[in-house]
Amino acid sequence: MQVGKSGEEISFGDSANVLRTNIEQIYGGFPSLDGCPLAEGELADIGDGTMFIGLQNYYRNYGSPYKLCFGPKSFLVISDPVQAKHILKDANTNYDKGVLAEILEPIMGKGLIPADPETWSIRRRQIVPAFHKAWLEHIVGLFGYCNQPLIDTLNKRVDGDGKVEMESLFCSVALDIIGLSVFNYEFGSVTQESPVIKAVYSALVEAEHRSMTPAPYWNLPLANQLVPRLRKFNSDLKLLNDVLDDLITRAKQTRTVEDIEELENRNYNEVQDPSLLRFLVDMRGADIDNKQLRDDLMTMLIAGHETTAAVLTWALFELTKNPEIMKELQDEIDEVVGDRMPNYEDIKKMKFLRLVVAETLRMYPEPPLLIRRCRTPDELPQGAGREAKVIRGMDIFMAVYNIHRDERFWPSPDTFDPLRFTRSHSNPDVPGWAGFDPKKWEGKLYPNEVASDFAFLPFGGGARKCVGDEFAILEATVTLAMVLRRFEFSFDESKFEGKDDILSSAQGLNHPVGMRTGATIHTRNGLHLVVEKRGVPK
């Protein structure tokens, strides 16, 4: 028996009542009958491009979980590590990607992120081995190679007025890295523009736009022919699909048959094409379905590109704001790598650098919320919030941003403090939460969801955790090491004059760089910096 918002008793055993509850929970607009408060407020709170901040404001009023209604649709918003662990790990088969899969399907097809659980379990088993250790060790060198055009570009800016917008440059580097390492394609986007690069950005922008649009107007009859935005998107998508199809065909034609053990132990220094596509084709044979392979590649292109670019952007933002942390980091880079290109062993030695990346992901999780839909009726444990029933069909937002910025799990959560991951923390007021234990991530590249008992979810957790987590950490650390060894940065304040200072202070940034969400957290005004050459330390 549970008590509804207006005090009435609700029996979930009564089937008519369950049906009514189902309808009301899914379609919203009624008092909540399952004990979860209905968040009420201005839609403008979440409609200005900072939805995750709006969800945090509601969380401060209503706790976890609460329900949020968009017109006829309602979402259960979870901001609690114990409940997140339940959904992502303990009861993960009760949930699928729901609305996210509907949005992404036209772009990623049955790629791993939107894949239904049945397709997913086959695909995941085939893709995970591609991220094996020998490949990751080798690919670090390729990250260094892809960073060289960025270093050259920054050197040119130093020779000019020093002004540089780093968010877009990091986006280009991340695209170049994903292109070469995943399907052996040189975008060269740091130095040039091309129709293919524009098509990638168009697909990204559309994926973000769709994830922020409650009504799927693109499914309406003739919409794809009549709406100019959709026509443009479809032609860009076709261009991109043609490029991927061509790469797949070529990879299949040049297939060398090897067995999985040989593949995982191959000497990558002797391999001409070390891409993930090459591995997948060699491993799975020429008969693998082209469309499925294309969906996989497109998913990794989108999932692995903007996320890393966002982490690099926010890491550099926080380091520029915190010169003493920047100095400590540069000292570590000078000592371990100097002017060499970093290798895998270097990254393992640079613990502070890895913690800087982890702390950035805590403060700016990419994406700031995870989406699920309940497939089988479920019950959420209490944790830091309240117990709740979840009915079949209920859409769920897991507000990772709220969990990462909650002082019950992370003391002084708005302070950039990379060393927090070296200290233990527990909270007896949160039943079922084991706290953060630094010993639990010893030997790993980064403090993970296990060490924090799901209070730190940079790459999600459970079965559908990111497959590219270590790849991403290596990519971000190599890029930061190469850039920060060679350059110093300060804010180009002239670019921020008159920009949304009030909003930025409300977001706790203390700088008008501003935040805005799509699939990831972007700056609102760009990361405009002035770059200078760094005096080479003795």
Tell me the binding residues for heme: 466
- Check binding of 143 to ligand HEM (CB under 6 A): no
Please select the residue that binds ligand HEM; options are 56, 211, 299, 523, rule is CB under 6 A: 299
Please select the residue that binds ligand HEM; options are 53, 158, 311, 480, rule is CB under 6 A: 311
Total site size for ligand HEM, rule CB under 6 A: 23
**Positions in 349-368 near ligand HEM (CB under 6 A):** 361, 366
- Check binding of 279 to ligand HEM (CB under 6 A): no
Please select the residue that binds ligand HEM; options are 74, 308, 330, 452, rule is CB under 6 A: 308
Half-sphere exposure of 267 (CA within 13 A, CB side): 2
**Positions in 240-269 near ligand HEM (CB under 6 A):** none
Q: Omega before 81 cis (within 30°)?
A: no
* Burial class of residue 164 (count of CB atoms within 10 Å of its CB; 0-12, 13-18, 19+): buried
Q: Which two tokens stand for residue 412?
A: 């002084």
Nearer to ligand HEM, 143 or 409 (CB): 143
d(CA 216, CA 213): 7
Q: Which two tokens stand for residue 386?
A: 């309240």
- Check binding of 370 to ligand HEM (CB under 6 A): yes
- Check binding of 303 to ligand HEM (CB under 6 A): yes
State phi, psi for 44 to the nearest 5 degrees.
-60, -25
Q: Which 8-state DSSP code applies to residue 90?
A: I
Which residues face 528 on adjacent strands? 165
Output the smallest distance, CB 534 to ligand HEM, in A.
Answer: 25
Pairing of strands 515-517, 487-491: unpaired
Nearer to ligand HEM, 181 or 507 (CB): 181
Contact 467, 112 (CB under 8 A): yes
d(CA 47, CA 6): 28
Q: Which part of the chain contacts ligand HEM (CB under 6 A), choosing from 302-310, 316-324, 408-416, 504-512?
A: 302-310
Output the smallest distance, CB 382 to ligand HEM, in A.
Answer: 23
With CB atoms as reference, the residue minimizing the distance to ligand HEM is: 468
**Positions in 377-396 near ligand HEM (CB under 6 A):** none
- Check binding of 147 to ligand HEM (CB under 6 A): no
Nearer to ligand HEM, 37 or 141 (CB): 141
- From residue 358, give the alpha-carbon distance in Å to each of 353, 366, 450: 9, 12, 14
Q: Which two tokens stand for residue 111?
A: 């790629």
d(CA 426, CA 58): 25
Output the smallest distance, CB 82 to ligand HEM, in A.
Answer: 17
- Check binding of 472 to ligand HEM (CB under 6 A): yes
Q: Which 8-state DSSP code applies to residue 341?
A: P
Nearer to ligand HEM, 123 or 386 (CB): 123
Q: Which residue has the tokens 């919203």?
A: 28
Which residues face 389 on adjacent strands? 379
**Positions in 96-125 near ligand HEM (CB under 6 A):** 112-113, 124
d(CA 236, CA 54): 33
Q: Which part of the chain contacts ligand HEM (CB under 6 A), choosing from 30-38, 68-76, 230-238, 303-311?
A: 303-311
- Check binding of 459 to ligand HEM (CB under 6 A): yes
Binding positions for ligand HEM, rule: CB under 6 A: 112-113, 124, 182, 299-300, 303-304, 307-308, 311, 361, 366, 370, 458-460, 464, 466-468, 471-472
